[in-house]
Chains A and B, each alone.
Chain A
């Protein structure tokens, strides 16, 4: 015992002794090397916003500079770069950084922030200060609605909210009990903290933890934890993309037991994005010396509901405990052991439910109280309360040592499986578009569902056992707790295992040279990990969002942090040139109008086409092509004359060997599906006597067909074609059903709907003597990621009798950002349309049947 004590004292003395400069430099070099590899991996995979990606290397430089500053300058330095990051984020726009715009927005943001902080320090009674804060917050909330400043501060509110909406409450509460006023640099650092400008969904940090943790340990140990947390963040975000691109489906895609389970588990796993972000944010703060507690730590492996509540977002939990749970439970102490805990927990969960809607209001501009929110928080709250009461009565397993006890391991593993199953179910409900939609999915429960469910839980259990059993061996590694006084060799071992190996592997897997050497399926998966674009489900949702703002299954979760369009952005259905038709097209463009939409000239001709004027009668010397398609063909996101159809006509008008001038008639309208194309052909295109029909298809045509068709049925629009009425009857659609319910019933008929429409288009075209041509036109973000729906569409087009072309890969290896109109709208820009035009004319020349090659002249 005495020997052990002596050893411990010697180790403590060694740890406390200042390290030689050479050793410090060596250790810092190790930190810099790890930081470099983490940044390399994060930027290669383009995680999160472009502003964050561009800033990461500079943040890395700032970390090193910060470390070598004298201690007293570190906090002011961090505060300064935090402020700079705010200005940078506010000034970055589609055209790059604009300092004037940045300062114009940063000034009111910082001004309002300083005003709120000043209110907290007014030398008046605490109650009056709180009342003033409420009044000011209330006014800001009212102004957030856009009525006071006429939307001029639209970009400012989400950041102001991220910095102040919760932290101000914590700050006002904590400083009330502090004996001395905190340094101004620390206060500013707390509110404007660096990563927050890039990640607005990180609103809560405890003021006490923030101040208490600042360099409260050996700097290298804090940095090492930060690096390991960042590395884990990168891994979470990679896993998130695997889930997002390969497992996530929306409710309309649930067709059997297996897909139901996939929906449930994948929705829960989508939280990896939030935990990945939180790891990155906290990791970055640790690199600046803020030794904050671990968050989102093994939350999938929580072994009870209270354990889940403690693990999943400890910062939020601490906030709730401090402001709601403790005051309520403390006031009730002495009234038995259980009542204070239960009522305190109830207060925390009611507050959590309300504050999520409050947060949603600040960040999105609208208060969202849904039935799913209420049910989710009520059930989780009740589970935690019951669990807490159980812990008060029976106690819970705690230990000072890391010894593995098999009985505890078994019980905790069973607990993990129950919590995982329950949370997955709750999460799927929370993320669903509606309670009735969620309930309707359960009609698909079958033996396969239970089989896969048991398998999933066994896998979760196996992971839990592995993590528990290896905990003593892993020791501090996984938590970043390198031993105090560790030498450079020990530090290097930790760094290699926890940062260098995983980050290097992830970095290498993102290299195109690796992609070229693997089979197509592996390449497909590896490329998807580097994508930061919406998946097939969300692409469809996104288009619906732009066109109708409907069926956005993912938007019910406030944690989804997609890039938002500016407040003055006009979505397609809201633009002044759209009118309803009452037929299978549902809507069309108003004829002979000219507007500026989102900064682009948008004009229609006398026939309601986004095109120049044509005569109804086809001139003798003209070869007329009627192009059918949706928003890409219509040219959403480019000026008049920049659509790929217009480019083909302008550049290749005289290319036909028979000497006829080419006319490319643009019948494209945003949101059109195969059934709409059939209607537009019948209603408009055939009237203009085309020589050929070019059908421009996208990968989502099948899914879109269901959705648009359901809308037609719901609006009781007469269906001209018997095969459509037949599908309505066989799918059992009734007008009392919601559109979403109809879509689910139509799911088995998707291919039939597409094929039927294609066949009818070919029939009508052939009857009119027009050549039916079908062209698969990829959308910029999807590239070649989703081959299966494309192959199905190509097969359907061939079976219908089209001459088919597959233009997959036309965008090559060009950067997505260079080809799309904006980060919030993935429609192709003018260079994108030029590439589409080149690929289309190439295809037209390649097949003699189209009459654009010398060969065709000979024929």
Chain B
């Protein structure tokens, strides 16, 4: 089972490559509000969920695709690790 740090690193790499190409990785801290700031929107969050489900072999619920659960890297990591 991957550690929370591995999960976070994988998700961070995916977000940087897919949605923030060219951005300084240091700028994407654990507390950056990805959904509130518009980095993740209804389209990209669906892409992210598909990636995470496939990568970590887990399953989300539709209501979890929200600011409550996926606003920051920290939130997403917590959600994913809770499913592993």
Distance A340 CA – B67 CA, assembled complex (angstroms): 20
Contacts of A563 in B (CB 8 A): none
Q: Is there an interface contact between A326 and B62, defined as CB atoms closer than 8 Å?
A: yes
Q: Counting CB contacts under 8 A, is B2 at the interface? A: no
Q: Is there an interface contact between B20 and A208, defined as CB atoms closer than 8 Å?
A: no
Q: Is there an interface contact between A399 and B23, defined as CB atoms closer than 8 Å?
A: yes
Q: Counting CB contacts under 8 A, is A337 at the interface? A: yes
Q: Counting CB contacts under 8 A, is A327 at the interface? A: yes
Please report which residues of chain B, range 39-64, place their CB below 8 angstroms from some CB of chain A when the two chains form the complex: 39, 41-43, 46-47, 49-50, 53, 60-63
Distance A329 CA – B46 CA, assembled complex (angstroms): 8
Q: Is there an interface contact between A400 and B19, defined as CB atoms closer than 8 Å?
A: no
Q: Counting CB contacts under 8 A, is B5 at the interface? A: no
Q: Counting CB contacts under 8 A, is B6 at the interface? A: no
Q: A326-B42, A344-B46 known; 15 other A-B pairs, CB under 8 Å? A: A173-B63, A177-B61, A177-B63, A208-B67, A208-B68, A293-B36, A330-B49, A330-B62, A333-B53, A334-B50, A341-B46, A391-B43, A398-B20, A398-B39, A401-B27
Q: Counting CB contacts under 8 A, is A13 at the interface? A: no
Q: Counting CB contacts under 8 A, is A395 at the interface? A: yes
Q: Is there an interface contact between A400 and B20, defined as CB atoms closer than 8 Å?
A: yes
* Known A212-B68, A326-B65, A327-B62; contact A400-B32, beta-carbon cutoff 8 A: yes
Report the nearest A residue to B21, measured CB to CB: A395
Q: Counting CB contacts under 8 A, is A306 at the interface? A: yes
Report the nearest A residue to B18, measured CB to CB: A395
Per-position binary interface string of chain A over residues 654-691, scored 1 when its CB falls under 8 Å from any chain B CB and 0 otherwise: 00000000000000000000000000000000000000
Q: Is there an interface contact between A321 and B42, defined as CB atoms closer than 8 Å?
A: yes
Q: Is there an interface contact between B67 and A399, defined as CB atoms closer than 8 Å?
A: no
Distance A322 CA – B32 CA, assembled complex (angstroms): 22
Q: Is there an interface contact between A392 and B43, defined as CB atoms closer than 8 Å?
A: yes
Distance A401 CA – B47 CA, assembled complex (angstroms): 23
Report the nearest B residue to A334, measured CB to CB: B50
Most buried by A among B18, B53, B62, B67: B62
Report the nearest B residue to A293, measured CB to CB: B36
25 contacts between A and B (CB under 8 A): A173-B63, A177-B63, A208-B66, A208-B67, A208-B68, A209-B67, A310-B41, A326-B62, A326-B65, A329-B42, A330-B49, A330-B60, A333-B46, A334-B50, A341-B43, A341-B46, A388-B43, A392-B43, A395-B19, A395-B21, A398-B39, A400-B23, A400-B27, A400-B37, A401-B27
Please report which residues of chain A, range 310-344, place their CB below 8 angstroms from some CB of chain B when the two chains form the complex: 310, 321-322, 325-327, 329-331, 333-334, 337, 340-341, 344
Distance A777 CA – B25 CA, assembled complex (angstroms): 72
Please report which residues of chain A, range 385-404, place their CB below 8 angstroms from some CB of chain B when the two chains form the complex: 388, 391-392, 395, 398-401
Report the nearest A residue to B50, measured CB to CB: A333
Please report which residues of chain B, range 7-42, place their CB below 8 angstroms from some CB of chain A when the two chains form the complex: 18-21, 23-24, 27-28, 32, 36-39, 41-42
Most buried by B among A322, A327, A400: A400
Report the nearest A residue to B36, measured CB to CB: A293
* Known A340-B46, A341-B46, A399-B23; contact A330-B65, beta-carbon cutoff 8 A: yes
Count of chain A residues with a beta carbon within 8 Å of a chain B beta carbon: 32
Report the nearest B residue to A325, measured CB to CB: B42
Most buried by A among B37, B42, B50: B42
Distance A326 CA – B48 CA, assembled complex (angstroms): 13
Contacts of A174 in B (CB 8 A): 63
| Minimum Cβ distance to chain B for residue A329 (Å) | 5
Report the nearest B residue to A310, measured CB to CB: B41
Distance A321 CA – B41 CA, assembled complex (angstroms): 10
Contacts of B41 in A (CB 8 A): 306, 310
Please report which residues of chain A, range 168-198, place their CB below 8 angstroms from some CB of chain B when the two chains form the complex: 173-174, 176-177
Report the nearest A residue to B26, measured CB to CB: A1
| Minimum Cβ distance to chain A for residue B35 (Å) | 10
Distance A399 CA – B47 CA, assembled complex (angstroms): 18
Q: Is there an interface contact between B19 and A306, defined as CB atoms closer than 8 Å?
A: no
Distance A173 CA – B63 CA, assembled complex (angstroms): 9
Contacts of B23 in A (CB 8 A): 399-401
| Minimum Cβ distance to chain A for residue B15 (Å) | 10
Contacts of B67 in A (CB 8 A): 208-209, 212
Q: Is there an interface contact between B62 and A337, defined as CB atoms closer than 8 Å?
A: no
Contacts of A341 in B (CB 8 A): 43, 46
Q: Is there an interface contact between A398 and B46, defined as CB atoms closer than 8 Å?
A: no
Contacts of B49 in A (CB 8 A): 330, 333
Report the nearest B residue to A332, measured CB to CB: B46
Distance A831 CA – B53 CA, assembled complex (angstroms): 74
Contacts of A173 in B (CB 8 A): 63
Contacts of B18 in A (CB 8 A): 395
Q: Is there an interface contact between A330 and B46, defined as CB atoms closer than 8 Å?
A: yes
Contacts of B62 in A (CB 8 A): 326-327, 330-331
Distance A398 CA – B23 CA, assembled complex (angstroms): 9
Closest 5 pairs (CB-CB, A-B): A330-B62, A400-B27, A321-B42, A177-B63, A333-B50
Q: Is there an interface contact between A392 and B47, defined as CB atoms closer than 8 Å?
A: yes
Distance A800 CA – B33 CA, assembled complex (angstroms): 72
| Minimum Cβ distance to chain A for residue B77 (Å) | 18
Distance A310 CA – B36 CA, assembled complex (angstroms): 12
